[in-house]
Amino acid sequence: MAQISVCPYCGTGCQIVVPEKNEPFFVSGYNASPVNNGKLCIKGYTGLSYSFSKDRLRYPLLKNNEEFVRISWDDAIEIVADRLLKIREKYGPDAVAFQSSAKCTNEENYLMQKMARVFGTNNIDHCARSCHSPTALGLINTLGTGAATGSIRSLEGTHTFFIIGSNTTEQHPIIGSKIISEVRKGKKLIVADPRKIKLAEMADIHMQFRPGTDVALLNSLMYVIITEKLYDQEFIDNRTEGFEELREEVMKYDPLITSEITGIEPDLVYEAARIYATNRPSAIFYAMGITQHIHGTENVMNVSNLALITGNLGRYGSGIFPLRGQNNVQGSSDMGALSEFYPGYVRWDSDRIQKFSKLWNSSLPTKRGLTLSEMFDKAADGEIKAIYLMGENPLITEANIARVEEGIDNLEFFVVQDIFMTLTAAKADLVLPAASSLEKEGTFTNTERRIQRIFPVYDPPGEAKPDWWILNKVGSKMNLWKEYEGPEEIFNEIREAIYNYSGATYENIYPIGKQWPINKENPEGTEILHTKSFPLGRGKLIPIKFNPPSESVDGEYNLIMTTGRNYFHWHSGTMTRLSQILEREAPEPYVEISNEDARERNIRNGQVVHVVSRHGEIMIKARVTNLVPKGVVFIPFHYKESRVNLLVGENLDPISRIPEFKVVAVKVIP
Amino acid sequence: MIYSLNGHEIAELFERIKKDFETYGTIDVQGDVIFSKIEKYHELKIARSDKPPKEFLIGRNENVLTLPEPSKKAVFGVMSCDLKGFYIMDRQIYGKDPFYTIKRENTIFVNYVCTEPCKTGFCSAFGGPLMDDYQIQVVNYEKDKYVVYVNDKYDSYFKGFKQASNDEISKVENLMKRFNEKQEKHNVEGIENRIKWNSKLWDKYAKICIQCGACNYSCPTCYCFDLNDVGDERIREWDSCILAGFTRTSAGNPRENLSSRLRQRFYHKFVYYKKSRGVYLCTGCNRCTDDCPVDIEIKEVIDHDYDSE
């Protein structure tokens, strides 16, 4: 029998229909799904073939004299447990770090963080650090919940779409197409993006501002809204606090002044502000363009300020939509696979963690945990001795990968659990073969907080096992817990751990998922957050001062490089690059450079150039295009042939510790 | 021959065919209708499948280094608009593509004729749901009453069933007439002469198209594929002419921009195929529009007043 499942790519979480085992393999969209209404993008249609690749890992592999040799699962689990316990004995629990994955299910992320904490350390983190950790921290600061405030369906009620730092049609195509359909009906669209993205073409206003100047731009929008009294006085009075302080800061950002910083004509800012504030309900969409900065968390809080003063929260069609990159980055963050948060965003240093001590029948670590990039840093310094990594490929995706490599090489023990022998897995001492999302049971939580189920339709290749199975065995081998029977039992423990999940059961979230909070007060889930009040009571308006990005151009490094993804590939490409069609569409790395910049440097389209930053150098083909403005170049990070993250320095947001992937000063030499 | 059957006899027919063929049909999966192996006639859900039955004859991914042993399949519940796709494709690939041909020859499609227009389809523009070409064609014209049109090749499965009366046949014909009158009109005839190379439609679509490929994947007549050597297999995979890589060559791309690729798709459907194969490469199923996330309307391409541009 065919099964309803969830697409493994972006955070939209499109539901798919997967044919049964012996049928021809063709995925289609699930028509009844409120997420995608039967539609899919090219990654959904052609991108799932990786699951059947001959390159899948089949057996546990142990490195012996630089060669991997096949071992049994019993031995593999024994080795992991034994080595980790010995390292704990010798150096203490904080010498071990655990890295979870936004590609894995809620159940698996929950187990991974529980393993770390019961083992005795808060050194648990995952790639949400590099994408939406500023969202979790920023929105929890201002509203109390770090998640999208509305639903995908509610966009039907939106009158103005404001897209800042999200290439929605390429990275969340089904949400992007929803916006296109609404704009065709006459809704307003404002795009703020340094690149001329597809949505910019049909936008009423496109503000092509300089990378890293988001705070100045957002403050100027608020300057206009406040000076022209376009704010929602009632909402500000009844639902927020700190307006006076915000006003004081914002009044310093006359668009006339900030145009020097952002490069945007004041008139455009005025017009955008008026549309956003008056043609309500308005919804803001953002992604990595907002978060991947040293002021990422401040950017998020400033987005929140803008929505709060205009009363664009808590109403159908309004809201803030941080678009999640991975299919389960919302869920993996909810589960507490982040160093500073326990499940349900309980801070590691709060008294409320006692609840977990009881639930897990264990004492809990008292030290702050390391974040993703810190783990590799400390490994290079010799403080971290072992890393247990599940489903990530940091040797392509992390910033400053030369340092990451140094850290990995310095480890005493490195376990990687993956479905492929990635660049990172090849460095491991032990590789554990995992099942793909078509081969296991569990739940994913999408970008609109919808908890959805997946099912094992196919058998994993060889002896590969679902991640939850592996974690379950390793955890029980280390005496951290009594073996779970299966994902549903783990999910039921999650329901105890996270009140916002407590009302969800495997039965009631099938076939159509439900949006958290789902609990006693909201038994059917919650489509729109903050309708009456914020979890914090009042929404906090926090004045944000503009500070320049970590890197700026000078005479030598005279271009700003920004990184990102393209439509056809996914992160480090381990999945999409195995799809023949996707790989054909985008087979090789490239740097987008404007016509003017290319001409000045005598660079032809297709020519191989050197891109050099203060941190490293790569060779890559030039794509001369008008998609980027003069002064800005763009490189996607999918390609192991030219790893752009060799160029990205380790400049971290002091609050969320996300690296600034979006602003790197470079030079391009023919 | 044309037979008259009741519900019980249709189920009996299923059992007879099952003796010689693996039986497939449309089933309900949580509200979606998909093709699956079925063992009993009552498992069948008579409703248009959510994707076309194309993969029965052209695999989504298939190894084309060796011709497989043919397996005999009977597929129940195919709607006429979908079945028509195969008859149209036949003109181009039957007898030439051995993988398609061998499956075509070993598969029976039992098509069901709609008696009420569906929400979006416009099959009347291509003659309506009662097909001239068929293997076994079922019209459920009244409750528990079926008129079944049978290709002589399959007559043996109908031994003992009674032939349809003239009265029954004219009932079906009237029903079809009413169907065609009732369905929204779209005049496709002559579009190959009306359609314009420089129409503003192509740019308009290019501006909103997100290149998902749904129009190709959902089309019962799109047969284009890509070939790749993967390990020891040569994999043929469904392709999409909306993607730039579809026509990229070492010397550049004749259809570099999206607007020219979208135009190509409609020109192939409404101009080239008509001129080279005598029919339009379209059945009026409207699947391409139904599955399009940005609502690009194939009916607009047909109805558009090109002369006024």
Secondary structure letter of residue B252 according to DSSP: B
pLDDT-above-70 percentage for chain A: 99
Q: How many residues does chain B have?
A: 309
* C-beta atoms of A20 and B36 within 8 A: yes
B36 and A54 within 8 Å at the Cβ level: the answer is no
Q: Who among A29, A40, A180 is closest to B208 (CB)?
A: A180
Rounded to an integer, the average pLDDT of A542-558 is: 94
SS3 A248: helix
Q: What is the pLDDT of residue A127?
A: 92
Each domain of chain B, given as residue ranges in start order, spans 2-182, 191-308
Residue B61 with chain A: CB contacts under 8 Å: 25, 49
Task: Say which CATH architecture domain A61-131+327-515 belongs to.
Answer: 3-Layer(aba) Sandwich (3.40)
- Count how many pairs of residues, chain A against chain B, have C-beta atoms within 8 Å: 120
Amino acid at position A510, single letter = Y
Give the largest Cα separation in chain B, rounded: 64
Q: Which residue has the tokens 């999200």?
A: A166
What ranges do the domains of chain A cover? 3-52, 61-131+327-515, 133-323, 559-669
The SS3 assignment for A107 reads helix
Q: What are the per-10-residue average pLDDT scores of chain B (309 residues)? A: 95 97 94 92 93 92 90 96 97 96 97 95 95 96 95 95 95 95 94 96 96 96 94 92 94 93 97 97 97 96 95
Binning pLDDT at 50, 70 and 90, where does residue A25 land?
low
Q: How far apart are CA B236 and CA B100, in angstroms?
A: 12
At B177-193, the pLDDT tens digits run 999 999 999 999 999 99
Has residue A577 got a pLDDT over 80?
A: yes
Q: Would you call B268 helix, strand, or coil by DSSP?
A: helix
Structure tokens at A38: 């039967």
Reply yes or no on whether the pLDDT at A4 is more than 70: yes
| Distance (Å, whole) CA A376 – CA A416 | 14
Q: CATH fold of A3-52, please?
A: N-terminal domain of TfIIb (2.20.25)
CB atoms near residue B57 (< 10 Å): 25
pLDDT at B271: 97
A137-148 as b/e: b if 16+ CB within 10 A: bbbbbbbbbbbb
Give the residue from B16, B12, B1, B28 showing the smallest Cα distance to B74.
B16
pLDDT score at A650: 84
Q: What is the ipTM of this complex?
A: 0.93
Q: Give the mean pLDDT of chain A.
A: 95
Enter the CATH code of domain A133-323: 3.40.228.10
Residue count of chain A: 670
- State how far the Cα of B258 lies from the Cα of B256, in Å rounded to an integer: 7
Chain B nearest-CA residue for A3 = B29
What pLDDT score was predicted for residue A96? 98
How far is Cα B133 from Cα B278, in angstroms, rounded to an integer? 16
Of chain B, the end-to-end C-alpha distance in Å amounts to 50
Residue A22: pLDDT over 70 = no
| For chain B, the helix, strand and coil percentages under 3-state DSSP, each to the nearest 5 | 40, 20, 40
Q: Is A94 exposed, middle or buried (0-12, 13-18, 19+ CB in 10 A)?
A: buried
Tens of pLDDT, residue by residue over A451-505, are: 999 999 999 999 999 999 999 999 999 999 999 999 999 999 999 999 999 999 9
Q: What tokens appear for B293 in the block?
A: 């996330």
Class of domain A559-669: mainly beta
**CA nearest A97: which of A122, A76, A75?**
A122
CB B240 to CB A20 under 8 A?
no
**Can you tell me the distance from the alpha carbon of A443 to that of A494, in angstroms, rounded to the nearest whole number?**
11
Distance CA A527, CA A517 (A): 9
Does residue A399 register a pLDDT over 90? no
Chain B residues within 8 Å of chain A (Cβ atoms): 27, 29-32, 34-37, 50-51, 55-56, 59-61, 207-208, 210-214, 217, 226, 228, 230-231, 235, 237, 239-240, 243-245, 248, 290-295
* B254: β partners: none
CB A213 within 8 Å of CB A262: yes
